[in-house]
Amino acid sequence: MSIEARARRASDSRFARAGTVAATRSATLTIARVPAARLIRTILRPSLPCARLCLLHTILPFMDKTATHVPHAHELPHEHHEELGFWRKYVFSTDHKVIGIQYAVTGLLFLLFGFCLMMLMRWQLAYPGKPIPLIGAWLGQSRAPMGIMLPEFYNQLGAMHGTIMVFLGVVPLAVGGFGNFVMPLQIGAPDMAFPKINMMSYWVYFIGGVVMLASFFPTTGAAQSGWTSYAPLSVITATSGQTFWLVGMIFLITSSLLGSINFITTIVQLRAKGLSYMRLPFFVWAQFVTSFLLLLAFPPLEAAGILQLMDKVAGTSFFLPSGLVISGKPLAVAGQGNPLLWQHLFWFLAHPEVYVLILPAMGIVSEIIANNTRKPLWGYKALVYSVVFLGFMSFIVWAHHMFMTGMGTVMSAFFQTTTMIISIPSVVILTALLLSLWGASIRFTTPMLFSLAFLPMFGIGGLTGLPLGLAPSDIHLHDTYYVIGHFHYVVAPGTIFALFAGVYYWFPKATGRTMNELLGKLHFWGSLVCINLVFMPMFVQGLAGMNRRMYDGGAQYAHNQTVLHWNVVQGYAAWGLGLFQLFFIINFFMSIKWGKVVDKNPWEATTLEWSAPSPPGHGNFLTEPIVYRGPYEYSVPGAPRDFTPQFEPEKA
């Protein structure tokens, strides 16, 4: 019998005993009936290392018990798991649902903070040299004397806005939040494969976030070399904030590596009975591929971060070339380093990182579109094959960010070609989702509105990226506002709209209550209008040649004069976008207490998470989940209802 088959049998046995899906209780029963010496000898036999490792991880917490209680056959796991104190239940929890909520709430808070940094930047761009109203005096003389923003502080805001939104906001919410909470429920698992590693992943992320925020407090200020931290500028800049940035990044990368190992193991080993790979919801496939991207792409950047940290604090020269002259004085370092090496290591992560941002969003949107069209997803297998191919191709396109570094024409041609190829699976996925809408009786719920908006917004982001993937056009567009517009259309009205859709959609599963539809639709329409007014003019500015990272918006350049007025429009749109987020914040917290109470499947959905109570208790499921069909059996001819859940047995 194969390793996977034996591991699956061990996993299934946990559900079979006493009608429970709690892995810990089944392990306790095993220990109670088998002598300790024999049990350890069985586990430590050299064969089946993976399966035994998982089993050891499950039973070790119980080996110091002097006695165990064996429940009666009719008792449910929710009645007999150990009652935990506040700290272990809500703070240092090993429950994937609590950890998912921790990730989600922390990620949302970081998104709000990063958005506030952007609103400060928009004031400076709209009204350069004018005092910041209301909070300008609070920023301090070293950042904004008399409330007027200094160029150095503008650079700090730009660097930290990008870092916080990507590494502390979107990725933790999309992968840590939705992945942790939803994925185990969708595959019928009682928890993640390694609960303690899961807890560690969150707290390492949290420490990394605290270190990043702490970089604002030193007198020299936060990191100001951009979210890419390009050497040699990031090394020679005399600020301790850059050191904080590197240390925080090492923590964040470690967190992602711990989480990705856990996700892959859980999806491979802990799927419910009958849940084959081609019965997985597309959201699970998206998280599966995303985990491989994190696992394979992050280690080079972690190594590079350590090397740059050594350049910063230990006097090494991994990224410092010889002959650097700073303020008229030669830099006293050994030299012989290569600044381009940092760019290669950074973008080898950062382009797969783009797909780490977008793939979970595609998974969320797919679930919501299938549910609200009451139709199966069009081309499910094509979607799966496309997302796997997209994950593979994302590792061989990174140098299209580096056309301006002087690489040869042969290498440029190679990366131009791979960039065009990687657009194909993205187009397949987007087309399949659009075709899923054809002939549907669409329910325009709040999550569906955000999902529908995702499609054209992501389409705009993808299409505007094609000129940047071709060296001739990239020469003119590189480092202009066109690049910012392209990237933000992918991430802001693209990924973040999908994340809002996911919050509205799975909120009833996490709380047992729905969010208010009126407030949700006000949030959607206001956000849609304002976010397009923020980013669409950037394409006009970029095509006019306006460079990014200019603290006055490029007002001193003659060629920018015809497009400077757009900065004022973008500023008011950004502040309006902030106001419309108040509808979401009020709705979120109000609905936790006063939202409409609903049953476990308020959307009449077909995937496995909707068979669990809302909110799910210890072990997630009241009975062993068994899967009988694919994930999107909507409007099946001859069926009594317009949805046939995966967990519903076949009728005779």
Q: Which position has the higher pLDDT, 81 or 300?
A: 300
| Separation of first and last alpha carbons in the chain | 33
Give the residue among 618, 470, 472, 538 at the shortest CA–CA distance from 98. 618
* Unique residue bearing structure tokens 């990191």: 223
Q: What is the pLDDT of residues 533-556, one digit of tens each?
A: 999 999 999 999 999 999 998 899
User: 514, 560 in Cβ contact below 8 A?
Assistant: no
User: 52, 39 in Cβ contact below 8 A?
Assistant: no
Cα–chain center distance at 593: 27
Two tokens, residue 498: 């999908």
Q: From CA 185, how far away is CA 601, in angstroms rounded? A: 13
- Neighbouring-strand partners of residue 325: 330
Q: From CA 368, how far away is CA 202, in angstroms rounded? A: 27
Lowest mean pLDDT among 42-46, 513-517, 635-639, 640-644: 42-46
pLDDT value, residue 80: 53
Give the residue among 159, 143, 136, 149 at the shortest CA–CA distance from 548. 159
Residue 213 has pLDDT above 90, yes or no: yes
Q: What is the pLDDT of residues 355-378, one digit of tens each?
A: 999 999 999 999 999 999 999 999
Q: From its phi and psi, is residue 329 left (phi > 0), alpha (psi between -120 and 50) or beta? A: beta
Q: How far is CA 191 from CA 22, 173, 620, in A?
A: 8, 19, 8
Two tokens, residue 447: 């999550």
Q: From CA 171, how far away is CA 354, in angstroms rounded? A: 10
Q: From CA 614, how far away is CA 391, in angstroms rounded? A: 33
Q: How far is CA 282 from CA 312, 492, 508, 600, 633, in A?
A: 43, 22, 20, 21, 13
Give the architecture (CATH level 2) of 96-321+334-597.
Answer: Up-down Bundle (1.20)
Q: What is the pLDDT of residues 19-40, one digit of tens each?
A: 443 444 344 434 344 444 454 4
pLDDT value, residue 237: 83
**pTM of the entire structure?**
0.86
Q: What is the pLDDT of residues 318-342, one digit of tens each?
A: 999 988 888 888 888 887 899 999 9
Q: What is the pLDDT of residues 98-113, one digit of tens each?
A: 999 999 999 999 999 9
Beta strands in 387-435 (DSSP E): none
Q: Which residues of 281-291 are buried (b: 16+ CB within 10 A; e: fewer)?
A: bbbbbbbbbbb
Mean pLDDT of the chain: 88
Strands 329-330 and 325-326: antiparallel
Lowest mean pLDDT among 235-244, 378-387, 411-420: 235-244
DSSP 525-587: HHHHHHHHHHHHHHHHHHHTTPBSS-TTTTTT-GGGTTTTHHHHHHHHHHHHHHHHHHHHHHH
Q: How far is CA 119 from CA 116, 568, 576, in A?
A: 5, 12, 10
Cα atoms found within 13 Å of the Cα of residue 359, Cβ hemisphere only: 31
Beta strands in 327-469 (DSSP E): 329-330
The residue-averaged pLDDT of 49-68 equals 36
Give the residue among 405, 248, 428 at the shortest CA–CA distance from 338. 405
pLDDT value, residue 574: 97
User: 496, 170 in Cβ contact below 8 A?
Assistant: yes
pLDDT value, residue 369: 97
pLDDT value, residue 82: 66
What is the 8-class DSSP label of residue 167? I
**What are the helix and strand counts (H, E) for the chain?**
22, 4
Q: From CA 439, how far away is CA 634, in angstroms rounded? A: 13
Question: Domain residue spans in the chain?
Answer: 3-72, 96-321+334-597
User: 522, 581 in Cβ contact below 8 A?
Assistant: no
Give the residue among 481, 476, 484 at the shortest CA–CA distance from 560. 481
